[in-house]
């Protein structure tokens, strides 16, 4: 079942969301510090019953952050209502996991008319002691550093949050049952933290500081089903809930599958029909391209459908590093936010050029303009940056980007390969964006080989 991706403007902010399935609408709000990416598996399952809409909340995934660094849970709730307006959703049934559930419960209290029902997976009720500990240690600043030291912290912080809860408490009593050391699973969360940057503290902090106000047992409210499965760190928090309103239910279940089945049944009773179309912005999105060698989604941005040039980024780069005010640009397959090649990426230029031509035609753009390719041997320029057990691929990629500011090619260091550069070229924030683009570039070597043959 296909998941489509879209952008919509909510005031001055741009919001990214995923959509999948058919039938009545279910809004899905992710936990922190994740994004709607975490719901892709669930959307493939629930899409058989519902039109699933999963936005990236402010400051996470591909959504712009809120303008205030001291934003509260109310600000996030108001932003969610603004998103419903922008999408054209008068009222919805909604699902949220952990902090996503906290946002939904708070939004229900502020705008009850916008919801028909909520399904919550794990609802945190912190003790005073836990709240103090989280406030002091849970959300350290996450700023890029010149030599990439922040990446070593990030890898181990994400890895060990599956070993201890909270992640900074390494006492025996804090061990949890879901410990693992699988690089791909850690990498998935690491990449979402790289997207958020220090903005993760705003959204996560708003949730951690939010009051856990549950309506009293006599309150009239929408139906809410709160569940937690046995391996969930919030499993015992079900017992911390106070007396609930008549239409609220909270209970423990054995497995994630049990939780999903109960939530599907609950949401199915209250979900509303999907509108004919959802709100979407006109200058950024995703197109589906089909050629002989590639079928998938390409991310685009800029002045499309106006005969403007179509700018093609260099190998290992992406459109976010281009100026799209006067032109349109795409992320090629295996780069940026676009899908990867279905099989091994081709080094022959013909399949790449076919994708570019298909995108140019679909977007109504003029001629394709190619950004200069980096100097050097593609095999050495773009080594494998696959996740490894110790997260060394992160610092390896950072070192490549940094060296590339001073030498061309980056791997040949000496007076004869030195290049002039301005001090701002080594600004950590600039390096952060280029590093992220390189990590996303799973077909950089092949695009570089193809470029040499064009």
Where is the domain boundary, 334, 349, 370? 370
Same domain, 207 and 242: yes
pLDDT per residue as tens digits for the range 372-407: 999 999 999 999 999 999 999 999 999 999 999 999
Quote the pLDDT of residue 67: 94
Question: Kind of pairing, strands 295-302 and 224-229?
Answer: unpaired
Where is the domain boundary, 268, 297, 327? 268
Same domain, 16 and 119: yes
Domain-located, residue 69: yes
Other C-beta atoms closer than 10 Å to the C-beta of 41 total 9
pLDDT per residue as tens digits for the range 195-253: 999 999 999 999 999 988 788 888 889 999 999 999 999 999 999 999 999 999 999 99
Quote the pLDDT of residue 10: 98
Residue ranges making up the domain that contains 254: 3-141+199-268
Q: Where are the alpha helices (DSSP H) in 51-148?
A: 73-87, 99-110, 128-137
pLDDT per residue as tens digits for the range 329-365: 999 999 999 999 999 999 999 999 999 999 999 999 9
Domain-located, residue 182: no
Whether residue 304 has pLDDT greater than 70: no
Q: How far apart, in Å, are the Cα atoms of 244 and each of 83, 93, 122, 241?
A: 29, 19, 16, 8
Average pLDDT over residues 150-160: 97
Distance, CA of 15 to CA of 87 (rounded, Å): 10
Cis previous bond, 166, omega within 30:
yes
Domain-located, residue 159: no
Quote the pLDDT of residue 1: 85
Question: Of 66, 147, 155, 143, whose CA–CA distance to 429 is shortest?
Answer: 143
Q: CATH number for the domain including 241?
A: 3.40.50.1820
Same domain, 53 and 129: yes
Domain-located, residue 176: no
Domain-located, residue 180: no
Quote the pLDDT of residue 76: 98
Where is the domain boundary, 240, 268, 296? 268
For residue 129, what pLDDT band results from cuts at 50, 70 and 90?
confident
Average pLDDT over residues 425-447: 97
117 and 226 Cβ atoms separated by less than 8 Å? no
Quote the pLDDT of residue 110: 96
Same domain, 385 and 442: yes
Same domain, 249 and 121: yes
CA 105-110-116 angle, to 5 degrees, is 60
Whether residue 313 has pLDDT greater than 70: yes
3-state secondary structure at position 310: strand
Same domain, 131 and 75: yes
Q: For the chain, what's the residue count?
A: 454
Structure token pair of residue 38: 């975490």
Average pLDDT over residues 406-427: 96
Residues in CB range of 172: below 8 A, 6 or more apart: none
Quote the pLDDT of residue 125: 94
Same domain, 297 and 418: no
The residue among 318 and 127 whose pLDDT is bigger is 318
pLDDT per residue as tens digits for the range 64-75: 999 999 999 999
Find tokens 């979402």 and name the residue.
Answer: 192
Q: How far apart, in Å, are the Cα atoms of 133 and each of 45, 98, 138, 158, 359?
A: 37, 18, 7, 18, 51
E strand intervals along 190-283: 224-229, 248-253
Same domain, 231 and 359: no
Domain-located, residue 452: no
Same domain, 59 and 108: yes
229 and 261 Cβ atoms separated by less than 8 Å? no
Residues in CB range of 392: below 8 A, 6 or more apart: none
Domain-located, residue 293: yes
Find tokens 């109960």 and name the residue.
Answer: 262
Same domain, 218 and 323: no
Same domain, 59 and 85: yes
Quote the pLDDT of residue 305: 58
Percent of the chain at pLDDT above 70? 99
Average pLDDT over residues 281-300: 96
Quote the pLDDT of residue 135: 82
Whether residue 102 has pLDDT greater than 70: yes
Quote the pLDDT of residue 306: 67
Structure token pair of residue 419: 């290049």
Quote the pLDDT of residue 326: 84
Same domain, 252 and 387: no
Quote the pLDDT of residue 200: 96
**Neighbouring-strand partners of residue 330:** 300, 312
Looking at the structure of the chain, the number of domains it has is 3
Domain-located, residue 388: yes
Terminal CA-to-CA distance of the chain, rounded, Å? 36
Quote the pLDDT of residue 303: 73
Average pLDDT over residues 85-102: 97
Distance, CA of 193 to CA of 140 (rounded, Å): 13
Other C-beta atoms closer than 10 Å to the C-beta of 443 total 23
Average pLDDT over residues 159-173: 95
């Amino acid at each position: 079942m296909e998941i489509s991706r879209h952008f919509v403007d909510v005031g001055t902010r741009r919001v990214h969301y995923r959509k999948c399935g058919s039938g009545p609408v279910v809004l899905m709000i992710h936990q922190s510090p994740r994004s709607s990416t975490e719901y892709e598996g669930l959307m493939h399952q629930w899409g058989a019953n519902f039109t699933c809409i999963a936005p990236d909340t402010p400051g996470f995934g591909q959504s712009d952050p809120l303008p205030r660094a001291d934003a509260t849970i109310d600000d996030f709730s108001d932003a969610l209502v603004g998103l419903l307006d922008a999408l054209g959703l008068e009222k919805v049934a909604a699902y949220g996991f952990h902090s996503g559930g906290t946002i939904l419960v708070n939004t229900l209290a502020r705008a009850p008319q916008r919801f028909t029902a909520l399904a919550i997976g794990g609802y945190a009720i912190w003790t005073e002691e836990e709240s103090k500990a989280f406030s002091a240690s849970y959300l350290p600043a996450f700023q890029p550093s010149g030599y990439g030291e922040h990446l070593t912290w990030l890898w181990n912080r994400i890895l060990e949050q599956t070993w201890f809860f909270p992640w900074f408490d390494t006492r025996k009593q804090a061990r949890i049952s879901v410990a693992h050391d699988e690089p791909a699973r850690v990498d998935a969360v690491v990449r979402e933290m790289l997207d958020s940057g220090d903005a993760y503290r705003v959204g996560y902090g708003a949730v951690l500081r939010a009051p856990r106000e549950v309506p009293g047992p006599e309150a009239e409210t929408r139906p809410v089903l709160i569940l937690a499965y046995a391996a969930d760190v919030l499993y015992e928090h079900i017992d911390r809930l106070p007396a609930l309103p008549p239409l609220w239910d909270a209970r423990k279940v054995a497995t994630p599958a049990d939780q999903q089945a109960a939530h599907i049944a609950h949401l199915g009773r209250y979900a509303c029909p999907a509108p004919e179309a959802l709100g979407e912005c006109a200058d950024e999105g995703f197109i589906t391209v089909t050629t002989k060698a590639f079928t998938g989604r390409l991310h685009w941005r800029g002045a499309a459908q106006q005969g403007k040039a179509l700018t093609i980024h260099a190998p290992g780069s992406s459109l976010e590093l281009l100026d799209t005010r006067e032109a349109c640009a795409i992320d090629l397959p295996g780069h940026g936010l676009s899908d990867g090649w279905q099989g091994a990426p081709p080094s022959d230029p013909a399949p790449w050029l076919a994708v570019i031509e298909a995108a140019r035609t679909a977007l109504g753009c003029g001629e394709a303009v190619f950004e200069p390719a980096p100097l050097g041997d593609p095999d050495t320029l773009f080594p494998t940056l696959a996740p490894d057990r110790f997260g060394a691929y992160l610092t390896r990629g950072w070192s490549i980007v940094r060296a590339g500011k001073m030498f061309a090619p980056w791997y040949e260091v000496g007076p004869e390969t030195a290049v002039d550069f301005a001090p701002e070229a080594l600004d950590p924030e600039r390096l952060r964006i280029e590093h992220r683009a390189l990590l996303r570039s799973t077909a950089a070597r092949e695009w570089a080989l193809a470029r040499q043959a064009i």
